[in-house]
A and B are shown apart, each in its own frame.
Chain A
Amino acid sequence: MTTNSRGSLKREKTVTFAIFLALPLIFFLTAYVYAVGYTGWLSLHSWDGLSPHWDWVGMDNYQDLMGSSRFWHSLVNNLQWLVFYLICPTVLGLALAVLVDGKLKGEGIMKTLIFLPYIITPVAVAAVWRWIYMPADGLLTSALEGVGLGGLAQNWLGDAGIVNGALMFAALWSATGFAFLVFFSGLRSVPVETIEAARIDGASSWVIFWRVVLPQLWPSTVLVLGLFGIEAMRIFDLIWSMTNGGPARASEVLATQLYDVAFTTFQMGEASAIGIVQLLLAAALILPYIIYITSHVEEQSE
């Protein structure tokens, strides 16, 4: 190979890469950069979504938000969802993966059953769970009454103190499958020889799990935590279709508040301001994760 053709090869590579990157970047610039900029600009205005003009209000929308207890309530709810997502479905998914990953008969069916809820449309999940949580004839209340525990029955979706827990339980049902399957695949990648070697050294199953298996599951954990973290900041569908953020806004999160402000009271500017705050919050929480991934990946390919 001559140096000349080597150089043209390199040029060919650069040009090809540029072409490959062009289309995704155009999509990204339009859908993310332009759109987020537009929302940011709109957040400095007052607009009813109907009139031809936007009225400039500067930072008023943000100031109103900072002084609104409704906004802080939504924000706290979002953080609760974050904590919930990072812990509950993740741990349960891991536990179930370990439970099922023992070459049990019927493993395929179990896997499908646990994963299935994850692929069901949140709107459908909401419909089923509304039905479960109905106060009088709902499944949960009927079941509790059936076993003589009727006293434990609650106004699941109608009580401000309970509604978030009830929603999270439905979300647990729906989200666990994803963590389960990722961990399940992760477990398959733990080399059998390593485990055998530890066993021969006399390590108990518990120690093997903590010292040998769990570290091997780190990449799976990163994937699950990352996607659940994003999910928690974005959560909308399930809450919107189950409670509309009610009762009396008790289950509202930023996304549902944004939607309500934009399309029930038509305050597009204020809705945009909520969106920008939501973005900043998500950025603060998820940016470290992305930095971790990009730097981690760099190490790997060196």
Chain B
Amino acid sequence: MKIDKLLTAGALSAGLMPLQAAAQDAQIWSYWGTGAEAAALEALVDVNNSENADTPIGTRTISGNSSEMRRAMQVSFLGGTPPAVYQSGFGMDLKSFLDAERIANIDSVIADVPGVAEMSSGIKRVVSFDGDMYAVPLNLHIISNVFYNTAIFDELGIEPPKTAEEFRAAAEKIDAAGYEVLGNAGGGSWTFYTAFPFLIEELGQDDLFAFTSGEIPFTDERVVTAFQEWTDTYVDNYMENWSGYSWADTAAQFAQGKVAMYQMGDWLSAYLADAGWTAGEQYDFFSAPGLDGAVVVQMDVLAKPSGLDEATSAVADAFLKTASGAEGQLAFNVKKGSVAANPESTDEGYSAYGELAYQQIQEATAADKVIPNPKFLFPTKLDEEIKNDTIAYAQDPSEEALMEMLEKLDAMRVELEDAGEFIKW
């Protein structure tokens, strides 16, 4: 085989032989390439290939992240060989594919799948355009839970705080005892993530969507208050030198018992499981102050490119049905350490933390308080700006710096609003 390849290569470099794009079987492309993520995808594909034995699907890993995926998709469109299904982000990511007329409307494919109609409206909203769904919400990770070290809380006699005020009181005790209060990390949007609970408390769910649609200024009184509360409650209590840490470095600090609290996504539970920690024992969690039952979730979605040939399209439709159904979602999420987006999916086989998160999401779904990560609803350019500005601000917070940041962001909001870059979620 190696010889073959070398010969082909030799011929190629001599320019004698154009390379034929190999005809490929229908595939799902994802960047779930290693560990628990790869296992999760494999479990889902297994369910699909036994349910739809005559239209099986293959997998291909795109190493990297969403921007590599976008590049791979770009190439596939140019070559006229897009996959049957691909892993996408929700919100803006989907919208850009829709604007380029690259994804198919799958509303009629999955609308009838049991449970899809019962998905939380917030979730459906960010995969739908003009009332039709363009992607399958697959898995939910909660990013509004605050994890805490039970030993530290017990030692200091602290109860999980319910309000910002209680949080600040707890923070004071933790700080006095010589622990770092709240973990955070540089890079990424972690800093902005921690501001969501305050924005939700001030704005409420509907106006939060209006905010991400560019309809509420960054200088709106409620937005300003939210950022002020966030500064007093969280930013002032971030661990020392947080901007020099990566997500995993901070998780390690938490697992070493140096940091008391942590709110950068519940994938922490998988990290802690590796370190031998169990939810309810060494660590526990509470919903961030002010959320009142709402949860903010990060999710992956699956979309189908437009213009597929009939055979590939049939494979895609069958797979998307499986992936949106209760059984397929359970198989995937048990392995991934997340919670199924389909509320009819059970919690059979979830970890100790998974069961609790499942319960939380069930309740939030019933109350229609599942909020997708607002980060992905802003125009990408603004989102990038928010990401960097919040990091810069949180390193050296002051009332003045806050207003300066919000005014700068608002100027960009106005500019993008004029250019019609916002989506009215």
Contacts and interface: CB of A to CB of B under 8 A. Distances in A.
Contact of B74 (A49, A137, A246, A267): A49
Contacts of B253: 136
A51 B71 contact: no
The 6 closest A-B pairs by CB, nearest first: A158-B244, A158-B243, A248-B392, A135-B241, A155-B241, A51-B100
- Main secondary structure on B side of the interface with A: helix
Interface in A150-167: 155-160
Given A243-B187, A247-B392, A266-B380, 6 more contacts: A49-B71, A137-B252, A158-B186, A264-B384, A265-B381, A267-B381
Contacts of A155: 240-241, 243-244
Contact of A136 (B97, B102, B258): B258
Given A246-B391, A249-B388, A265-B384, A50 B97 contact: yes
B395 A50 contact: no
Interface in B61-81: 67, 70-71, 73-74, 77
Contacts of B108: none
Interface in B371-407: 380-381, 384, 388-389, 391-392, 395
13 contacts: A48-B96, A48-B100, A134-B244, A155-B240, A157-B243, A158-B186, A159-B243, A160-B392, A243-B187, A246-B391, A247-B187, A247-B243, A264-B380
Interface string B231-269: 000000000111111100100110000100000000000
- Main secondary structure on A side of the interface with B: loop
Contacts of B418: none
Interface in B44-62: none
A178 interface: no
A51 B102 CA distance: 8
Contacts of A249: 388
A214 B246 CA distance: 46
A72 to B, nearest CB: 16
A38 to B, nearest CB: 15
Given A50-B96, A134-B249, A248 B242 contact: no
B245 A135 contact: yes
B395 A263 contact: no
Interface residues of B, number: 33
Interface of A: 48-52, 130, 133-137, 155-160, 243-244, 246-249, 260, 263-267
B99 interface: yes
Interface string B81-107: 000000000000000110111100000
Contacts of A265: 380-381, 384
B390 to A, nearest CB: 8
A246 B190 CA distance: 13
Contacts of A244: 187
B96 A158 contact: no
Contacts of A160: 392, 395
Contacts of B71: 49, 263
B67 A263 contact: yes
A135 B244 contact: yes
A96 B246 CA distance: 35
